[in-house]
Chain A
Amino acid sequence: MSQAANTGIQKRPTPMAPTRKTSLSSRALPRWAPLAFAAVAIALGVGTGAAAGWHSHTQWGLFSALLFVVISYVTTTVVENQRQAKDRLATSIVWVCFLLAVVPLFSLIWTTVSRGAKILDGYFLTHSMAGVPGIEAGGGVYHALIGTLEQVGLATLISAPIGLLTAVYLVEYGKGALAKAVTFFVDVMTGIPSIVAGLFILSIMLMAQLQPSGLMGSLALSILMMPVVVRSTEEMLKLVPNELREASLALGIPKWRTILKVVIPTAIGGITTGVMLAIARIAGETAPIMLLVFGSQLINTNPFQGAQSSLPFYIWEQYKIGSEPSYDRAWAAALVLIAFVMILNLVARGIARWKAPKTGR
């Protein structure tokens, strides 16, 4: 049987065979070719853009990117072969995608920092908007900072324990239909738009005749925060090796003490990271605050009564006023908010890295 197969295969003319038999090497473009293509493409793109008088530099960039892809594809097809050309095409597209994405994201950060730094100073951080007309310069963000800290703090107090306990239930006890349902709905809950969470609390407020306050905002933020805490805590608890649990249980220590004294301390670094990332996420939420806390120009340190402001809501308010000084305040507050969120992120990831080796990951 194999004899027949042999002769069969040997007789078949291979399309590639003649070229392949003679040589392994082929004509190839030099390594610096992509750089040269890029240079030519950018030169042509800028040239065409300037000549045609296109207003937007985005167009220049897009046109250059397109030229780059076309030039490298055609040249490679001619010099090498179609397969290499396709490979290079894919490489070019992937690079272009990357650059396309970096540009707006870089622009966002740059705009915020450069425009926000203009009026951001000690005065801005320590004063409220009391008595400052929106269209004039002056005032600050102090009342909004207080609001954000209190609302986010309350939301953390509510959702961190519930999230933690739920995660413990899912990892340490969870079996059967209830655990499956909880897992699924935690996932779905992660995707609830913040405005829907706000509307939910609003509908309760309408029925119970409650007045807007920081607490109402915190409740909506908790709904957004809980699933994030559950998810990340779950991941961390799963990383705790089973041997640790068994070692503790084998000593006759009850399961609940094992969880509290062995499992959670082992994973505490990762859990902290998860909670901080969740805080960073909700600190930037605007929509629920708009519906439930109402916003205020004054300092209100009591989150349980009366309207409050918050950083993201402050930005929205200042943006809506639409005057030059209010835009300045919006950018400055945006810079404060971004700095707050980024610092939380960096610290959280720092904790994760610092704790990681000890949890045996």
Chain B
Amino acid sequence: MASTTPIDTPPASPVARERARPKTGRAGDKIFLGLSRGSGILLLVIMASIAVFLTYRAALAVSKDEGNFLTTFDWNPAGDPPVFGIAVLLFGTIVSSIIAMAIAVPVAVGIALFISHYAPRKLAAPLAYVVDLLAAVPSIVYGIWGALFLVPYLEGLNLWLDQFFGWTYLFEKTEVGVARSLFTVGILLAIMILPIVTSVSREVFLQVPKMNEEAALALGATRWEVIRLSVLPFGRSGVISASMLGLGRALGETMAVATVLSPSFVISGHLLNPGGGTFAQNIAAKFDEADAFGRDALIASGLVLFILTLLVNGAARLIIARRKEYSGANA
């Protein structure tokens, strides 16, 4: 905006009042610009210091770790010698997030299509509203619901899966015990990220230009074919970035996992067996008993989680940014 120029040039008339105004204006502008730019810079500084501080404390811990930080199946920083590693946590975090994505993304796309293209018009707006409200339910509430309601409820499903799909190895239940498994965690995470994936996808589906849909209709396409020909191709990158935003949430979720999972330091492909762990859950569970060094060790695992979510969210944002350019060029 070049609109500041009339203020910067001194007015021709030498009347004192007029001269005074631009002066305060200039000073005020400088102060205000300084404040707002400073806030922006402060945000960058915070981001940078998160990375620096976590890395520093993590380095303190990892340098004294007698086990291999990446491959050790144990978390015992208080031991002598201290031995801890993130292998189990990385596995549990990724597996539970994958289960969550596998369930949530298709269902969320379905709900988004339902709201944007299938629901009766009068129902669509309130439904979208309800989905947005559900995104606001705090994660600890999902957590206690998951632990006190979902876990006992899923036992029947687990038995059934074990009975009919046990041969897939993944759904074989080899240990007895309640359903405090990575699979249950995955289902709960799926429910939790459903609203965000749905609302971002819905926005994209609603942006599909009317004329693209009419092109398909006029060729004699059914409603599904209209969606396949014009809605899904247009919305694909939007759905991808929505899913990655959801993935970012699932990776970092703490309370819902901490309440549901019964932690153990094993890696097992049997998803229905209780046990396993995630980064965030492990921090929540081990924090109370940790001494100063133990806290540094937890910070080290937090750093890995931070990097993981950073990569996922950055990728999602890049996809969205690229999409904006693409649609901008077309408009």
Contact = CB atoms under 8 A, between A and B. Distances in A.
Nearest to A260: B32
Contacts of B229: none
Contacts of B227: 90
Interface in A76-93: 83-84, 86-87, 89-91, 93
B70 interface: no
A249 B107 contact: no
Given A166-B36, A169-B37, A187-B313, A254 B7 contact: yes
Given A199-B299, A291-B287, A338-B141, A166 B39 contact: yes
Interface in B146-161: 147-150, 153-157, 159-160
A173 interface: yes
Given A195-B284, A312-B140, A59 B160 contact: yes
A26 to B, nearest CB: 13
Interface of B: 1, 3-4, 6-7, 21-22, 24-26, 28-29, 31-33, 35-44, 46-47, 49-50, 53-54, 56-57, 106-111, 113-114, 118-119, 129, 133-134, 136-145, 147-150, 153-157, 159-160, 191, 194, 198, 222-225, 227, 245, 248-249, 251-255, 258-259, 280, 283-284, 287, 292, 295-296, 298-299, 302, 305-306, 309-310, 312-314, 316-317
Nearest to A193: B252
Contact of A112 (B26, B41, B106, B141): B141
Contacts of A196: 50, 54, 252, 302, 305-306, 309
Interface residues of A, number: 101
Contact of A285 (B3, B138, B198, B258): B138
A193 B253 contact: yes
22 contacts: A86-B225, A90-B223, A97-B109, A100-B107, A105-B194, A111-B145, A165-B36, A166-B40, A169-B39, A197-B50, A199-B283, A200-B54, A203-B57, A206-B292, A254-B7, A254-B24, A259-B32, A277-B136, A286-B138, A316-B258, A341-B136, A341-B137
A185 B46 CA distance: 10
Contact of A169 (B40, B56, B142, B145): B40
A249 B4 CA distance: 8
Contacts of A200: 49-50, 53-54
B43 A98 contact: no
Given A56-B154, A194-B252, A166 B295 contact: no
Contacts of B3: 245-246, 249, 255
A104 B252 contact: no
Contacts of B109: 97
B305 A193 contact: yes
Contact of A319 (B110, B259, B299): B259
Nearest to A97: B110
A210 interface: no
Secondary structure call for the A interface: helix
A162 B245 contact: no
Interface of A: 54-56, 58-59, 83-84, 86-87, 89-91, 93-98, 100-101, 104-105, 107-108, 111-112, 161-163, 165-166, 168-170, 172-174, 178-179, 181-182, 184-197, 199-200, 202-204, 206-207, 223, 226-227, 230, 245-246, 249, 252-257, 259-260, 277, 280-281, 283-287, 290-291, 312, 315-316, 319, 327, 330-331, 334, 337-338, 341-342, 345, 349
A257 B33 CA distance: 12
B284 A56 contact: no
Contacts of A87: 222-225
Given A91-B223, A169-B36, A199-B283, A98 B137 contact: no
A202 B1 CA distance: 42
A163 B39 CA distance: 7
A-B pairs, top 10 by smallest CB distance, nearest first, are A193-B252, A284-B138, A97-B110, A56-B156, A254-B25, A55-B156, A191-B313, A256-B32, A169-B36, A90-B224
B56 to A, nearest CB: 7
B248 A195 contact: no
